[in-house]
Structure 1
Amino acid sequence: MMKATIPLCLLMATLHLATHSLTQTDHHNDEHKATDPQEQHPHEGDPLESCQRIVPSNTEFAFRFYRQATTQEPGKNIFFSPVSISTAFALLALGSRATSQAQVLEGLAFNLTNTREEEIHNGFRHLLLFLNRPGSQVQLSMGNTLFMDKHLKPLNTFLKDIKKLYKGKVVSSNFQNSTEAKKEINDHIRNKTHGNINQILKDLDPNTLMVIVNYIYFKAYWENPFNIKGTHKDYFHVNMKNSVEVKMMTRDGFYKTYSDRKLSCKVVQIPYKGDVAALFILPNERKMKQLEDALTKDIVSRWEKSLQRRRIELYIPKLSISSTYDLKKLFMNLGVTDVFSDRADLSGITGKPDVKVSKAAHKALLEVHENGTEAAAVTGTDFLPHSVPPVVKFNRPFLLLIVDQYTQSILFMGKIVNPTEK
């Protein structure tokens, strides 16, 4: 028997660090009456602890995914939101059963012998509460929407669970009219990412019965903006032979940095306003591969512990890059095969086992600007004129991690090989 297909469009990492003013905040006032995770269910134990049961696996998954992406597109920019992809696939696991479910959770780096499925879903529930926390200076919102053919009848328990655990909502769609359904899904994403991501869905198979959409929207400002007057043309060395011209931002100031001698790289932490920081990691010439192979959650925590505040002269290129991934291909390489095949068991969604996932996509966008004002940066000149700080210049391929400091979650991860690549 042929299985109907579910394109699983996991979407939307928009990372937007822009200069323009915040005209609307990203928190819907009505939903946040009980958002202090402490208030939710006092009997469920500590929300942060619950959250921290899943964060190590999410971090491990980020590096697994990164390696797959590098293998598929060597020499290309990479940028994605691991936390967004993990959340969407964990939601898929909620509706999966048997081997299908075990493969998805193991693909997300969970060890099912020492973690119960219930703990995983509860961890994501608390993680979403923390990440969507209102009142932070960072605009960060993340959520999930299921578009379901109006003839599919989802189970009530599933509807209740995705709402409670994944801030998810289900929209009944008419997939018989695929043009209209495609427009509805693309409009939803455009709306949730404030117009930054327009067309995630290029085409929609007429046999589609369900589309799962995950979006993440992030917008933050540097704690210490770069002076726009200091931005100048400079060269970025894509590789030994080729250079491109970039707009290089610069700032002389105090940053937490670390030189990792073992991995031949420099790490600079650049904080945003709010509880989020970017880790910029610059490998020495020809050391990128060594760094990529060594990446683990322990390395990153070693960096975080070793950071020390010191004055440096920092150079970072202005950036605007986006990446799109076929998650089906990537996840199949990670051993998650059943949900995409006729062996799929997604009976947790509709009670019937005759659906499979046909499509899974993820698109992420990164912009890095000065986001400061010309006048405000004058205070940066109060250093002694005769002291010269060490220069750290990101003018060759580097890695980037954007980390929520509160939960230690990697919101975004990337490799910048060519800042001018469109």
Structure 2
Amino acid sequence: MSNIYLCVLLAGLCVLANCHHVPGHQGGHDGHEHPQEDQPPTESHQENGLLSYWKIAPSALDFTLKFYYQVHPDTDGKNILFSPVGIINAFFLVALGAKGNTVDQILSGLCYNQSVNSLQEIDDGVYHLLQWLYRPEAKLKLRPGSALFTADKFQLQQEILNKAQDLLHADVIPADFKNTEEAVTQINSYIESKTHGKLVDVVKGLDPEMATVLVNCVFVTGYWEKRFNHELTRKMDFFINNETTVQVDMMYRDGYYLTYHDDELDCDVVNVPYKGNATALLILPQKGKLHEVEHGLSGEVFLKWKVSQKLQRIQLSLPRLTLYTSHDIKEALIRLGVTEVFTDQADLSAFTGHPNLKVSKAFHKAYLNIHENGTEDAAATVIETVPTTLAPAVIFDKPFLLVLYEQIARVPIFFGRIMNPNEH
């Protein structure tokens, strides 16, 4: 096989902000706000095709946890942040051009079970998930950015082009990889544009024999259902470990949240809702219990938390933070059994009609911003009434886990481990 490469780049961006109080919003029947929960199927969901996605929905959480277990040994003591949706969609696009054992390995590595779901069901499920997540009226704003940068001499099969555009909304853009500097600038400009300037200079160099570069960007903007008051933000200690403490800007809010304390894993779980159908699931292990919680995560545990959480008034303290992370997802996927696509045995012939194509690189860069403000209305005065009794405090002053979860689609958009809020 000649050195003809497909490079997969994933640029995940998550901008998490809060918003002002919703005018006229009165919350639940008791006058307090009630975070959203997963909603049962409705006729509108049927029309939107979500029922077809729900057939394969468990695979997203399975992949998220399996990928996390492969990534975190290589990042001991460091922040982790990745977009499961971004990685799944990027390699699903690779799978569209794969055949035989290569496609079977990719789908298995992404936790799609072909003995349960047909290829058509998987195609339909992914398509309807993206249609739902990227709908213009959604309050959790996800903006896609998928592209195939292709060398002129490698003509992609029309069927693949149609699927890439129809299923994944991918742009197909010609590129001159022989002029590597120009190609790098072209791809970086695309990523910078799709991530609104948050991710720059992602690509450092390209092989002039490159056939195709696949780029997948995820841009997310969410607004807290109930904002933090920036005037209450204070400097506090964050305990990275027994030896290291850093000062962070700690946001504060006294309010009602769905919470649960898991005695078995010794951690607190807090749901901080966004406008719309999303929530930030925050998982705070007690001191010295982080690794136990990490290794105890499973679909069953998340279900237990969901059905056990209760609405409770707490004093929530959460660090304001800005993070950038980068992960080599090629190595993680190889450990998940996706091996052939990176070797000379790869069969990606559905892309070009020829077998001499393999994936050379696959890496993922992500950005996360959590803060009190973020809209032009952030200075609005917010008045809330709470009882005068002292509420229990949940202070995220030690390493914690974060899941940005779209509740109707039942899919994790981002997953992260915050070891040091000051690490950029």
TM > 0.5: yes
- Where does residue 34 of structure 1 map in the other structure? none
Q: Are 1:278 and 2:277 an aligned pair?
A: no
Deviations 1:114-151 (A, max 9, x none): 22122112111001000001112222122421111011
The AA in structure 1 aligned to 2:383 is T
- Where does residue 30 of structure 1 map in the other structure? none
- Where does residue 315 of structure 1 map in the other structure? 317
Deviations 1:19-72 (A, max 9, x none): 799xxxxxxxxxxxxxxxx999x9xx8711111122211110001111111111
The AA in structure 1 aligned to 2:387 is L
Q: Confirm or deny: 8 A CA contact 1:231 1:249 kept in the other structure.
A: yes
Structure 1 residue 298: Cα displacement: 2.1
Q: Map 1:36-47 to 2 at 5 A.
A: 47=49
Structure 1 residue 249: Cα displacement: 0.4
Q: Confirm or deny: 8 A CA contact 2:177 2:207 kept in the other structure.
A: no
Cα separation, 1, equivalents of 2:339 and 2:405 = 30
Q: Which moved more, 1:105-114 or 1:308-317?
A: 105-114
Cα separation, 1, equivalents of 2:268 and 2:309 = 10
Q: Which moved more, 1:224-233 or 1:167-176?
A: 167-176
Cα separation, 1, equivalents of 2:326 and 2:309 = 32
Q: TM-score, normalised by structure 1?
A: 0.91
Q: Pick from 383, 386, 409 the counterpart of residue 383 of structure 1.
A: 386
SS in 1 for 2:184: helix
- Where does residue 6 of structure 1 map in the other structure? 6
- Where does residue 16 of structure 2 map in the other structure? 17
Cα separation, 2, equivalents of 1:39 and 1:180 = 46
Cα separation, 2, equivalents of 1:116 and 1:401 = 29
The AA in structure 1 aligned to 2:137 is G
Q: Pick from 139, 162, 165 the counterpart of residue 163 of structure 1.
A: 165
Cα separation, 1, equivalents of 2:381 and 2:271 = 19
The AA in structure 2 aligned to 1:94 is L
The AA in structure 1 aligned to 2:2 is M
- Where does residue 177 of structure 1 map in the other structure? 179
Cα separation, 2, equivalents of 1:296 and 1:271 = 22
SS in 1 for 2:103: helix
Q: Confirm or deny: 8 A CA contact 2:7 2:359 kept in the other structure.
A: yes
Q: Pick from 227, 238, 241 the counterpart of residue 239 of structure 1.
A: 241
SS in 2 for 1:379: coil
Q: Which moved more, 1:262-271 or 1:327-336?
A: 327-336
Structure 1 residue 17: Cα displacement: 2.2
Q: 1:65 to 1:377 in 2, by over 3 A?
A: farther
Deviations 1:263-321 (A, max 9, x none): 11110000111221100000111111111111112211221222211100000010101
Q: Map 1:288-327 to 2 at 5 A.
A: 288-327=290-329
Q: Confirm or deny: 8 A CA contact 2:48 2:132 kept in the other structure.
A: no
Q: Confirm or deny: 8 A CA contact 1:3 1:342 kept in the other structure.
A: no
Cα separation, 2, equivalents of 1:375 and 1:414 = 29
SS in 1 for 2:341: helix
The AA in structure 2 aligned to 1:198 is V
Q: Are 1:331 and 2:333 an aligned pair?
A: yes
Q: Map 1:13-412 to 2 at 5 A.
A: 13-18=12-17, 47-371=49-373, 376-380=380-384, 382-385=385-388, 387-412=389-414
SS in 1 for 2:5: strand
Q: Confirm or deny: 8 A CA contact 2:147 2:216 kept in the other structure.
A: yes
SS in 2 for 1:17: strand
Q: 1:134 to 1:202 in 2, by over 3 A?
A: same
Q: Confirm or deny: 8 A CA contact 1:229 1:374 kept in the other structure.
A: no
Deviations 1:76-109 (A, max 9, x none): 1100101110111111111001111111111111
SS in 1 for 2:210: coil
Q: 1:8 to 1:199 in 2, by over 3 A?
A: same
Q: Confirm or deny: 8 A CA contact 2:19 2:223 kept in the other structure.
A: no
Query: What is the aligned-residue identity percentage?
Result: 39
- Where does residue 35 of structure 1 map in the other structure? none
Cα separation, 2, equivalents of 1:343 and 1:50 = 33
Cα separation, 2, equivalents of 1:322 and 1:375 = 27
The AA in structure 2 aligned to 1:379 is I
Listed as ranges, the gaps of 5+ residues in structure 1 are 22-37
Moved segments of 4+, more than 3 Å: 18-21, 372-378
Listed as ranges, the gaps of 5+ residues in structure 2 are 21-42
Q: Confirm or deny: 8 A CA contact 1:225 1:377 kept in the other structure.
A: no
Cα separation, 2, equivalents of 1:359 and 1:197 = 18
Cα separation, 2, equivalents of 1:371 and 1:410 = 24
The AA in structure 2 aligned to 1:73 is T
RMSD over aligned CA atoms reads 2.0
Q: Confirm or deny: 8 A CA contact 1:237 1:396 kept in the other structure.
A: yes
Cα separation, 1, equivalents of 2:379 and 2:134 = 33
SS in 2 for 1:220: strand
Structure 1 residue 330: Cα displacement: 1.4
Q: Confirm or deny: 8 A CA contact 2:17 2:373 kept in the other structure.
A: yes
- Where does residue 28 of structure 1 map in the other structure? none
The AA in structure 2 aligned to 1:47 is G
Q: TM-score, normalised by structure 2?
A: 0.91
Q: Confirm or deny: 8 A CA contact 1:328 1:359 kept in the other structure.
A: yes
The AA in structure 1 aligned to 2:72 is T
SS in 1 for 2:383: helix
Q: Confirm or deny: 8 A CA contact 1:131 1:142 kept in the other structure.
A: no
Cα separation, 2, equivalents of 1:213 and 1:2 = 23
Aligned residues: 401
